A and B are shown apart, each in its own frame.
Chain A
Amino acid sequence: MDEIEQVLGLYISESRELLDEMELLLLNLENEQDQAESLNAIFRAAHTIKGSAGIFLLDDVVHFTHGVESLLDKMRDGKIASNSELTSLLLDCKDHISLLLDNVEHKTVLADHDFLNGKALLQTLIIVVKQGGTDGPKEPPNDNTQLVPTQDVERENSPKVLSDNWHISVRYHPDSFRFGMDPLAILRYLTTLGDIESITTLFPSLPSASEMDPETCYLGYEINFNSQANKLDIEGAFDFIRDDSQVHIIPPSSRISDFITLIESLPEQDIQLGEILVQSGSLTPNELEFALSLQRQLKSQSIEVPLGTLVVNNGLTQQPVLESAIAKQNQIRDVKTKEIQSVRVDAEKLDQLINLVGELVIAGASSSLHAHRSGDRVLIESFSMLTRLVEEVRDAALQLRMVQIGATFTRFQRVVRDVAKELGKDIELVITGAETELDKTVVEKISDPLMHLVRNSMDHGIETPDVRMDNQKCAKGKITLNAYHDSGMIVIEVSDDGAGLNYEKILKKAQQKGLVLEGETLDVQEVNNLIFEPGFSTADSVTNLSGRGVGMDVVKRNITDLRGTVEVQSTFGHGAMFSIRLPLTLAIIDGFLVEIEKSSFVIPLNMVLECVQLSEGNSDIDPNTQQSYINLRGEVLPIIRLRSLFNLGGRVPKRENVIVISCLGSKVGLVVDKLVGEYHTFIKPLGNIFIHIQGISGSTVIGSGEVALILDVPNLVQKILTTESAKALYSQTERMNVQ
């Protein structure tokens, strides 16, 4: 069943894409001048999902999607006008379909409340469709077979056939079995739409037994089919094979010329096929004769008319069917060209490639080191060439993982819509820089912090419409998501035109919490950034969105974990802008290599401010604690002795060096033995056993083959800051006790 599983997987991922597209279209529907195009696209998405679900016998999905489709059909025909209520309903339905697909994928059963929810949704759909039908202008329903035009009979020289049944003719693509298609399963699905009155299975291309390949499909069939279903539904049964196989569906009471087209387009001999049509009851013998003679006439005239125009001129095909067929063709063409331009690759394979390239970089560095040691000039030269190539391969490999941030941004359209409604605010989301690329893993991890920031802006930032009006602002609030590249980093900005941060309020709160000491002077920027402190919230009331004081510090931590930074800029009364700066990729680091007691460590280069020598005069060394202070040009700089922090032992050399780093808004010095220099390297994650080790974020292998540990600087700094403030607090209480 592996093939079926595979095709099912494909179906699910395609359906997800369609659902995403549907959501986007629905969200834009209200702003659209010409809704017809969007509604058509939404309908097609729902229809494709339903049709394909039928082939996999996913009855739940078919049933539910059918309900959605009925409503969309009415909306498309203009019988029900779209409004924001309907959009919400359709969005909920889209969510439910997505839920159904999740269950199919994980082979689970829908949870009880979801099941009931789905039922309720379907009920609402039915009611809306019914009411809409009575309110709307009276027109015969489009999906009924009686609609096949009757008014042009005289004008048309090709009479209609007598049969009131559909005629379906299928010739399977030779690879159909290999694609996991079972013609029997499609027939079985067809029987759910109506009755198969007669079927003739054909296998004219079946070769002799010795040459026949049992995994190739040689089958085809001619079906006389009695059904009240509309053409789109019947076509839906063949959606999955239509691209490769030949499928012809002729509605009841079609013209004989339709059958001529059919006979001409099929590989069998005209007479033989004609007989099958007669046998199956789709044509009477007289009709067949007429058809064949007409065919000869047409042939002698040989007028070349594109098939599409001919069909419409003759009033044969229902207009929506043709439109959807053309759209489908275009869609397929688009997908096909896209397929040529891009290949879907398993993310795991890509990670493996990146890993291998990482190893290659390391091995290359080590070889080049040996080459230098050997002193052989030719060897050194050839290695420098190799190193250059390896670097290019590395960059190209990393490029492979780059994805555009647009998809992440667009997801917020829905969030903004839903939350704005909940809050009773009118908010518009503007997206710019959607094409900015960054590493896939970073994209995945940035989504949560972004969500938090967007929600925060909506809840705290944007004011209610009447407050905005009072402040001479447009009633509609605006949130902007922007992204751009800046010197090897990506900058993502979440800005709003809301109230902005309240300097006074934040400062007061910070003083209450003891984050800022009385009398300490801070500039606006520093105060604003206080909102990232743990447990900080200035919200007067706690809403279910934000304001509980857990949030901004989590956002900050998540971003720091990605080796990024977050800042806020705000003008009171005019809005706030959060800027996140992130490295483009997590796999590579520009580091600064240092040594302590023969152990190597890498410090992220973007945090290094300067290096100074530690002379005995300028430090206040307390051998019992890990930290002490030095006087850096008159400034007090706390330092961390990595030797004692990591218990490396050994003798302290005469000359030690201090690397001044800046992180989390403060400066700290790290004391090391030796400075080696700048170093580009791949980060290898630490194994699970080492996950609890603090102060180390990863490892890498340096040129000599030794392992170097990458320092988790934010963690170290955080640690020193908390002990600092604890100490400060302690001494404060001491003092109070004395008084």
Chain B
Amino acid sequence: MLTFTETDQGGRAHIEGPMTIHNAMNLKSQFMGALSASQHLELNLAAVTEIDAAGLQLLIMAKQHQIHIQHELNLINHSETVLAAFEMMGLVSWFNDPVIITRQ
């Protein structure tokens, strides 16, 4: 479930609950609305309870899309499961967002 609010600095969004293949369809359409709305989008991942490869793929899509249309996307407050998945797939540096590194 993605909630989007516009602020002076740009858009803010946060995702609550799972990001898996089961809700990927819904999430994508919600993403598309939020992505084009603002020059600078901050996506809060603190409340993501579960993420699988389909969820990761959505984040990749979002990031690539923003780069493509020259908007900015920052992921913040990665929840533990998100971070673990990022590390597992070697995506931390690709997203290039500041994260709290717990391993390595």
Spell out A's residues near B (CB within 8 Å).
3, 177, 182-185, 187-188, 191, 196, 198-201, 203, 206, 208-210, 212, 214-215, 217-219, 221
Contacts and interface: CB of A to CB of B under 8 A. Distances in A.
Nearest to A187: B88
Nearest to A178: B21
Given A206-B64, A209-B32, A184 B56 contact: yes
A208 B65 contact: yes
Given A201-B94, A209-B64, A219-B53, A214 B25 contact: yes
B25 to A, nearest CB: 6
Given A182-B52, A184-B52, A184-B85, A221 B28 contact: no
For B24, B32, B57, B89, the residue with the greatest tally of chain A CB atoms inside 10 Å of its CB is B57
Interface string B43-59: 00000000111101110
Give the top 5 A-B pairs by smallest Cβ distance, nearest first: A209-B65, A214-B24, A199-B90, A183-B53, A214-B28
A212 B54 CA distance: 12
Q: Which of B68, B85, B89, B91 has the most CB of A within 10 A?
A: B89
B61 interface: yes
B21 A215 contact: yes
B90 A206 contact: no
A206 B52 contact: no
A199 B89 contact: yes
Contacts of B56: 184, 201, 219
A219 B56 CA distance: 10
**A184, A200, A208 interface centre (most CB from chain B within 10 Å):** A184
> Among B31, B35, B53, which residue has the most Cβ atoms of chain A within 10 A?
B53
Range of interface residues on B (Cβ < 8 Å)? 20 to 34
B21 A201 contact: no
Nearest to B51: A184
Contacts of A196: 88
Given A208-B65, A212-B61, A215-B54, A177 B21 contact: yes
Given A203-B57, A215-B25, A217-B57, 16 more contacts: A177-B53, A182-B53, A184-B52, A184-B56, A199-B88, A199-B90, A201-B56, A201-B90, A201-B94, A206-B57, A206-B60, A206-B61, A209-B64, A209-B68, A212-B28, A214-B25
Given A208-B65, A209-B65, A214 B60 contact: no
Nearest to B53: A183
B62 interface: yes
12 contacts: A182-B52, A182-B54, A188-B88, A191-B88, A199-B90, A201-B90, A206-B60, A209-B61, A214-B28, A219-B53, A221-B89, A221-B90
A184 to B, nearest CB: 5
Q: Which of A196, A208, A214, A219 has the most CB of B within 10 A?
A: A214
Nearest to A212: B61
